[in-house]
Amino acid sequence: MKEIKIGTAVSKTAGRKTGALRIGTLPDGSPMEIPVVIVRGKKPGPVLWLHGCVHGNEYCGTFIIHALLARLKPAALAGTVVALPALNITAFQKGQRMSPFEGFAGGDLNRNFPGDPDGTLTQQMGHAIYKPLKRYATHLVDFHTAMTEDVRWALYAAVGGKVEKESEKLARAFGYSSTLPAPPTILGGSALMTAAKDGIAAMIVECGGKGPAFTEEAVEDGAERLHNILRALKMVSGAVTDHGKLNYFSNFAWVHATKGGLFQRSVRCGDRIEPGSVLGQFYDLHGRPNGEATAPKAGIVLAIHPGPMIGSGETLVHIGLDPREV
């Protein structure tokens, strides 16, 4: 067996290895390190790379990855699962999206792959993570959340050819009914697109909301869907669950709030909306109704602002456009 070495996690034979990957240095000189778990099967097969908390406060994915890892038995596995459950560790610690040590250019890690060893902190982090990803991974599942606990949708890399076919296989095995075949013109610098352009099949799962806004059921369901990906890739035995037809979108649209105040949503993620559909109600601080938020476009609600208050410019709703059953 060829050695797989990611930081201090070194796998040479079947079994489970843990360690840490250094992605930077803290201002006190101590290493900025992230956890790595490698579960290697007895038989050869794909290398499925899983990571979570690219955005530090999107904890649901970390729990889904842990739930999947708890199920895996090296003796019954073909190939390898590589898991990095908490990538943006300093943002993770602070409960925020981006690293508190990144003072320049916003520092969205999911726009900074493949990274730069001489760049900003986030670019250096991207480089440290992407190097082993590119070297070892055949497939990538990248976990994110949006705003509320009812978020359930996915994207796969629709970059054409074999990579698109294999990426779609991941998305169908995961089987969220709201799915975007993401064209190569969007999400530049994401792990998804960077990996896909390097020949690695890739998808993003969006499950749950920021911080603690997710449920145990979402985690268990996510882990089962992830396990179904392993069945589809023949990494574990068992019949592949067929999730049936999915709703594919042509693209998505972000709609920002143009007013502020108290806000109560009236739609849920997965709801179908038309132009003019009421999304929620604004109130002023005297308790008076202050207008409705309405949808500017038709589609399916991917994410909606949770309230209880909203300021202008915040994301009001995220819409999946032109859903069609495929």
Residue 284 Cβ vs Zn ion, minimum distance, rounded to whole Å: 32
Site residues for Zn ion, 130-149, by CB under 5 A, read 144
Residue 143 Cβ vs Zn ion, minimum distance, rounded to whole Å: 8
Does 210 help bind Zn ion (rule: CB under 5 A)? Answer: no
Judged by CB, which is closer to Zn ion: 58, or 166? 58
Residue 108 Cβ vs Zn ion, minimum distance, rounded to whole Å: 9
Chain residue whose CB lies nearest Zn ion = 144
Judged by CB, which is closer to Zn ion: 108, or 198? 108
Judged by CB, which is closer to Zn ion: 40, or 206? 206
Spell out where 41-190 has E strands: 43-52, 78-84, 139-146, 152-157, 178-182
Residue 145 Cβ vs Zn ion, minimum distance, rounded to whole Å: 6
Amino acid at the residue 247: N
The first and second tokens of residue 313, run together, are 């410019």
Could you count the other beta carbons within 10 Å of the beta carbon of residue 197?
A: 15
Q: Which position among 17, 40, 51, 55 is part of the footprint of Zn ion (CB under 5 A)?
A: 55
Spell out where the chain has E strands: 4-6, 9-11, 15-25, 31-40, 43-52, 78-84, 139-146, 152-157, 178-182, 201-209, 247-248, 251-256, 261-265, 272-273, 278-283, 289-294, 299-304, 309-310, 315-321, 324-325
**Residue 228 and residue 174 in contact, taking contact as beta carbons nearer than 8 Å:** yes
Judged by CB, which is closer to Zn ion: 127, or 144? 144
Give how many residues touch Zn ion by CB under 5 A: 3
Q: Which residue stretch of 51-59, 125-133, 219-227, 233-241 sits at the interface with Zn ion (rule: CB under 5 A)?
A: 51-59
Q: Cα separation of 269 and 18, whole Å?
A: 36
Judged by CB, which is closer to Zn ion: 58, or 150? 58
Binding site for Zn ion (CB under 5 A): 55, 58, 144
